[in-house]
Amino acid sequence: MHKEIEGRALRAIEEKAFPGCVVGTVKANGERDVWSFGTLIYESGEKVREDTIYDLASITKSIPTASLALSFIEGGRLKLEDPVLKYIPELHNDFGATIEDLLCYRVRGTRLSTLRYKTFEEIRTHVFEHGFDGPPGERHYTNLPAYILGVIVERIGNASLAKQAHDRFFEPLHMSRTTFFPSTSDCAPTEIDERGVVQGLPHDESAYVFAKERRAVGHAGLFSTVPDLLNFLESLLKGEYSYVADGAQKGLGWQLRDQMEMGKRASPQAFGKTGFTGTSIVVDMGAGLGFVILSNRTYPTRPKDMSAINEFRADIADIIIS
């Protein structure tokens, strides 16, 4: 398997899908492998390490945001049928949306990236005053539901998202290099744009505004390593945090079996999450394994589409789940 993964990763680097990546697998018995390939940037000789820290982007929506929400549901402090307005009474145009609607991405509203030139207070105020565009409907994936869910998690837990994630998951699972606020020098850069070199702060434009003020949000901004994330996936495979796996397999805050992410061989019990920066995690409860791919595909500039990274994700999944 190592040779197949190495060959596919080196081809992706040659094709400029990303300058480097880390791939890791884990089984329920704790058996794991981690491989690193390439460099942090194309013009650099600094090699990617197994513990290189990457910007997880939208994986944040699942770890920790949805997982924390599912923990409150398990503990009876939150219900799927609860109206959003119960926890954010200042929200306008709520249209009766529920916690389940947030977890299933059934509501639409302002694209948060369009608010990137505002302060974090202005972003929050805009979201609460605008609310949703209409009643909950079909699944439509955007950042807004996870942002609002993050606010609700903070209010229920009476602590920041970062602290709750650390206390509930990261510290018990020895995820010591997982944080919303990493040291810049420890991180792979994600892009060069009007902000300069984006490194150690979220690539996501709105999460970037919050992180500059040391504030975590629910839709993006977490940084981690492959070994740390394998710790989380291993715990799910072992039956720990069963409420997370149970909710994920119902599509609550996680993606269900998707060939673009999980290849052709994943079982019906597979779930995971992708991140725009070139990251992905998959747990296949049926196959008894999980795997992680971390890369900085958006460096130095974001590609025109997702085709290269999605082909890589699917190919790696098919190699691992064989």
pLDDT band at 260 (very low <50, low <70, confident <90, very high): confident
Question: In the chain, where are the structural domains located?
Answer: 2-59+164-320, 66-158
State mean pLDDT over 168-196: 97
Please give the single-letter amino acid code of residue 190. Answer: T
Range 2-59+164-320: architecture per CATH? 3-Layer(aba) Sandwich (3.40)
pLDDT band at 89 (very low <50, low <70, confident <90, very high): very high
**Average pLDDT of every residue of the chain:** 97
Residues contacting 261, CB < 8 A, separation 6+:
255, 272, 274, 280, 282, 310, 313, 314, 317
Percent of the chain predicted with pLDDT > 70? 100
- Per CATH, 2-59+164-320 and 66-158 having the same topology is answered no
pLDDT at 86: 98
pLDDT at 307: 96
Give the residue carrying structure tokens 């019906």.
268
Q: Residue 47's beta-bridge partner residues?
A: 39
pLDDT at 195: 97
Domain 66-158 carries which CATH code?
A: 1.20.58.710
The whole-angstrom distance between residue 149's C-alpha and the CA centroid of its chain comes to 14
| Interval 187-245: pLDDT, tens | 999 999 999 999 999 999 999 999 999 999 999 999 999 999 999 999 999 999 999 99
Q: 48 in helix, strand or coil?
A: coil
State mean pLDDT over 53-77: 98
pLDDT at 103: 98
pLDDT at 17: 98
Does 272 score more than 80 pLDDT? yes
State mean pLDDT over 134-158: 97
State mean pLDDT over 114-137: 98
pLDDT at 322: 84
pLDDT at 44: 75
Extended beta strands in 65-115, E state:
none
Q: Is the peptide bond before 64 cis (omega within 30 degrees of 0)?
A: yes
Give the residue carrying structure tokens 């940037």.
41
pLDDT at 30: 94
Cα distance between residue 271 and residue 256, in whole Å: 5
State mean pLDDT over 123-144: 97
pLDDT at 257: 77
Residues contacting 61, CB < 8 A, separation 6+:
146, 218, 219, 220, 253, 273
Does 179 score more than 90 pLDDT? yes
Cα distance between residue 96 and residue 9, in whole Å: 46
A 10 A CB-CB count for 253 gives 27
Q: What is the pTM of this model?
A: 0.97
How far apart, in Å, are the Cα atoms of 282 and each of 27, 217, 231, 247, 316? 12, 22, 13, 15, 11
pLDDT at 144: 98
State mean pLDDT over 299-315: 96
The whole-angstrom distance between residue 92's C-alpha and the CA centroid of its chain comes to 28
Select from 104, 213, 88 the least CA-distant residue to 156: 88
Cα distance between residue 153 and residue 160, in whole Å: 8
Cα distance between residue 229 and residue 121, in whole Å: 31
Does 258 score more than 80 pLDDT? no
The whole-angstrom distance between residue 242's C-alpha and the CA centroid of its chain comes to 19
pLDDT at 45: 75
State mean pLDDT over 140-159: 97
